[in-house]
Amino acid sequence: MRFRVVITDLITDALERERAILDDIADVTALGARHEDELAGRIEEADALIVFHDIAVTRKTIARLTRCRLIVRAGVGFDNVDHSFARERGIPVANVPDYGAEEVADSAIGMMLALTRGISFFNTRMHDGRGAWDYREGVPLRRLRGRVFGIVGLGRIGSAAALRAKAIGLDVIFHDPYVRDGCDKALGIRRVETLDELLAQSHVVSLHCPLTPETRGLIGATALAKMQRGAFLVNTARGAIVDTSAIAPAIASGQLAGAALDVLPIEPPPADDPLTLAWRDPQHPAHDRVIINPHAAFCCEEGMIEMRTKSCANVRRCLLGERVRNVVN
């Protein structure tokens, strides 16, 4: 019996890597779907699904699966798969939690440096021809060494960011109620018990937590008001952790000195999104003090190869009756 493996979205190439891993036991098909509705009639008899990030796989799709043994979310976050309903149906959902840890941590630190050292600010103003060709356009700039870098969520990526921040002399603290005691000692950083403590102490707040009901909207106007005046916010986690409508007013008031967002609640953002409107407006302070990237922090050629390889290796383990790794439900 040959199995059937379906890749729902994103990947549309010749699948050489996937077939090298699965070809002796399964037929692999890539649908390249851009919306969940395109899956109807094409996934019902799949033995395994590999899902990237272009679409959601909700209850209506999972209910149609007749023999699926595993859904792999080819990435870290798994909020685009209804893993709770999959569990009710007896279908394990697994992710690939480690493929992009280095790249996302590098991006978080890079964004932090671009904000705190004025790199993005100067570049935007000089590019647009606004203001004098003079470093004093961006003062005051503060020395980073010894300043507090606050991490929300000390998983793999948060830990990698902590080590990088330590290496450039930052005083690293973290808040994560789900991390066991001792991780702070192993990494040489400090734990704070509450988010409010972290917000009050940090010169830079960097988000590395998953999107859950507990973290959705975690950083909004109330949280921003609890940060030090003139602090910075970096989000390379999930867009909906931040209420982005609060960012531009906080920048305009000076409460935030800058924000760097690799992720947004809706991607791409709608035309009337208040943050992106302010970011694109040369007359608004957010134009110079906000960095927005198109959910790119994970991206590198090596990481994509690793993500695809590990996704298929987990499917193979499942189809051969071996223990599946990284089950999230």
Catalogue the active-site residues: 238, 267, 295
- Measured CA to CA, the distance from residue 316 to residue 25 in angstroms comes to 8
190: its two tokens? 């400090």
Dihedral over Cα of 159, 165, 171, 175: its sign:
negative
CA distances from 126 to 122, 140, 284 (A): 6, 17, 16
Three-state SS for 164?
helix
- Measured CA to CA, the distance from residue 328 to residue 249 in angstroms comes to 37
DSSP-assigned letter for residue 138: G
DSSP-assigned letter for residue 47: S
DSSP-assigned letter for residue 295: S
- What one-letter code names the amino acid at 188? G
29: its two tokens? 């098909």
